[in-house]
Structure 1
Amino acid sequence: MAASLINTNVLPFKATAYHNGDFVQVTEADLQGKWSVVFFYPADFTFVCPTELGDLADHYAELKKMGVEVYSVSTDTHFTHKAWHDTSDTIKKIDFPMVGDPTGVISRNFGVMIEEAGLAERGTFVIDPQGKIQIIEINAGGIGRDASELLRKIKAAQYVANHPGEVCPAKWKEGDATLAPSLDLVGKI
């Protein structure tokens, strides 16, 4: 199902997030007009999850400079997110909204709900300013994600969005050469 979400609009949702000491409402409309990352993880107070969220927090300033907002999402409540933020040194570093999805609506909208467990898969979704999903990454529960690789992918997505007719090859990094698909390139790469 995840592959079918590429270039589709984010489905409607309404949730409460813990953000900068407050509880705030977040909807799909908040993802419009800027690049966004929706970062699903199974649960607060676990093992791999804080390492991923801490890594993302360490890269948050650079993401903000790129015009990207991050929304972490688990099926925990916003109250649980606050308690985790208040008690974990790693999670205290987080400045992005921590969205509660206790009903699983958002996790189901993005196709990452593990129904039998009531938890979300490790899913990362990059959404463009038009609200369309451009990147999807889903990892098994025991495999943590790397925020620096996410940054590279977002830079590539932003480059392609700003340069119609060009594409970014494997391992592309900002400043590297791109490709302009054409009949002349067929069989030459």
Structure 2
Amino acid sequence: MARIDSSIRPFSTDAYCRGNFLTVSDQDLKGKWSVVFFYPADFTFVCPTELEDLADNYAEFQKLGVEIYSVSTDKHFTHKAWHDTSPAIGKIDYVMLADPTGTIARNFDVMIEEAGVADRASFLINPEGRIQYIEITSGGVGRSATALLDKIRAAQYVAAHPGEVCPAKWKEGDQSLAPSLDLIGKI
């Protein structure tokens, strides 16, 4: 089961990115921060709004050293066709992974078997290939790229500052906490 601090499972798949087909594996996610962003299907309704939001904020993800990998159970050919025909999807410069067999969705425990599609789910992976953040929402509820960026900044801060934690609503530059006996009952 995909859980916080568990290692991602092996995969290799076809992908579409910036006019090219390529092969991507779990090894490509290691050595940098990555977001694996599952969505149910191409040519749908909520999905393009989420993917466009990621595309509009992609430069901010890049500034944080984070690569985005969107994933659906569509083939890479379908990703290209959607990219070529939709103004919203045409903005995408990040990698779009094809998962027609559902292997990746099953690896992350987000496959909806009876529908043959993935849940709407986001995973933040650290450079060691370990899951640091999971968000899963119902099919009708879209996610926010800016909220995801806040979670990434907090996760990166905690990784860079052992012994410190980020409280609720923490934003970059805010005060963190150093858990100790002195703080018990004073927060």
Query: Normalising by structure 1, what TM-score?
Result: 0.98
Between the aligned residues of both structures, percent identity stands at 70
150, 166, 176: which one aligns with 2:148: 150
2:9 aligned with 1:24? no
Query: 1:104-115 counterparts in 2 under 5 A?
Result: 104-115=102-113
CA distance in 1, matches of 2:63, 2:142: 24
Question: Which 4+ stretches in 1 moved above 6 angstroms?
Answer: none
Unaligned runs of at least 5 residues, structure 1: none
Paired letter, 1:64: Q
What is the CA distance between 1:188 and its match in structure 2? 1.1
For residue 125 of structure 1, what is the aligned residue in structure 2? 123
Q: Deviations over 1:125-156 (max 9, x none)?
A: 00000000000000000000000000000000
CA distance in 2, matches of 1:188, 1:129: 35
For residue 52 of structure 1, what is the aligned residue in structure 2? 50
Residues matched between the structures, number:
187
What is the CA distance between 1:187 and its match in structure 2? 1.2
Unaligned runs of at least 5 residues, structure 2: none
Q: SS in structure 2 opposite 1:155? A: helix
Paired letter, 1:60: Y
For residue 78 of structure 2, what is the aligned residue in structure 1? 80
2:61 aligned with 1:41? no
Paired letter, 1:78: H
For residue 169 of structure 1, what is the aligned residue in structure 2? 167
For residue 12 of structure 2, what is the aligned residue in structure 1? 14
What is the CA distance between 1:186 and its match in structure 2? 1.0
Query: 1:59-98 counterparts in 2 under 5 A?
Result: 59-98=57-96
Paired letter, 1:57: A
Q: Deviations over 1:100-137 (max 9, x none)?
A: 00000000000100000000000000000000000000
Query: Normalising by structure 2, what TM-score?
Result: 0.99
CA distance in 1, matches of 2:90, 2:55: 9
2:136 aligned with 1:138? yes
Q: SS in structure 1 opposite 2:58? A: helix
What is the CA distance between 1:23 and its match in structure 2? 0.5
